[in-house]
Structure 1
């Protein structure tokens, strides 16, 4: 049976191999430890600052300490004191000591928005303030608990609720507007269907306007003639109007003459009445005398003879006072 080659090795060779398997892992572990120590800044100088909290808020030893988002140390100790508050000891690297001032603040925060690792975030203080010494106290700003956050968020939630109600109302209005828009679209479609008829009407109107425009020169000439005629009439009226005062004066004179003539006629009529009455009485007296003379001899005989002489005449004429006819 063939033996393993290790049985043929000397004890010294075996010791060397075992030493290699022991030294190499130890060397690797040493290198890893050096890199880890360097990563943890174990070889840098450090100093400590203290703060006090009403409760731990999840802080524990080893929690990171940040400055403007850069790790500058860690929480070394979280412990409860006699007063019931929590003392926190922060271990910071000395190279950042000049950045942490007396008015700097240690804020307790989360690595996430709500959840995540609890950490300490140190704010930059005023450049005029001195840096914190080793073992000094830094003012802590505690985070708000859930109840306080809810109290602060409640008005926002109410505002969001009101906004949602308004959005619902706006949505209803938009639905009504969409329905109205649908009706408008229907009306537009109907108007579009009626558009050819409207275009034909417009074309007819345009043709009528063109025809009117073509006849416009003749119409303009007619208007010009009419204006000339009106101008002549206006001149005649003006001339007649200029003569009107003389005509009015003549008419007034004629009216006055007619009035005077009327007064004269009235006077003559008044004077003529007694004359007519006297003439009538004279005629009655003459008639009485003639009748008496006809009955008196020899006039009565003469009247009889004269009557027989004219009895056969057929020529009409006037009857005299004796009763015979008188030819004209």
Structure 2
């Protein structure tokens, strides 16, 4: 049996009290630190907004600004219009960025992350929202709504793909017929290629024969050309050219002199021609007068009336 005189048990109650006090102090410090970390002791103010559906909203949901936590959802309640009123609590030190044009919306952090309430940064020229004022809410599409929208858009595409696959697999369709026609065309082209090869081989043989015949014809032509003696003919042509070269200059000189004489005669005749014409007119006029006198004589007079006009009309000798 332990005696009370054991020194280990002296002041036991005091030691237990000190231990309990230290434990309580540690718990209080931990609570204070946790509260400071969670901003339980910072000054806050409240805002509220109304949504059509409360799906996805929970009490205590974090409220974030630019990805940084600034508050939490404090209450969710159904109002008289069957809509959901949601109140949020925000640290007062962040109110400078929350203005009258700020909006809140429900978003997910990542594809499968937690749902949060996100607040947008307002314009600095707008007034700050005060305690218990309303903030605008913008509805975002949930995953099920996005899935339904994507399904509505993808469904026509899938239907078209199904129709295309059915069209491709139809044995009586145009595509299958085209493939069969291509196969037939390929076989025909193969036969055409073989015929073309045979024609080319035959053409090569014919070309060889034609080349041999052409070579023999050229040889014969060369021999005939070489057998023709063109020297006498060329000598005659050269002699004729020499003779023409000797005789042509005197002939040209004579022709030039003749042309000069003709030109001189033309000039001389041009000056004498008006006088000759005038003399000829005078002779003809005198002859006309003589004929008229003879007609008026009694020996040559007849019963015909005298000529009313002269037989010859004097004209201008220069015309």
Relative to the length of structure 1, the TM-score reads 0.48
Larger radius of gyration: 1
TM-score, scaled relative to structure 2:
0.49
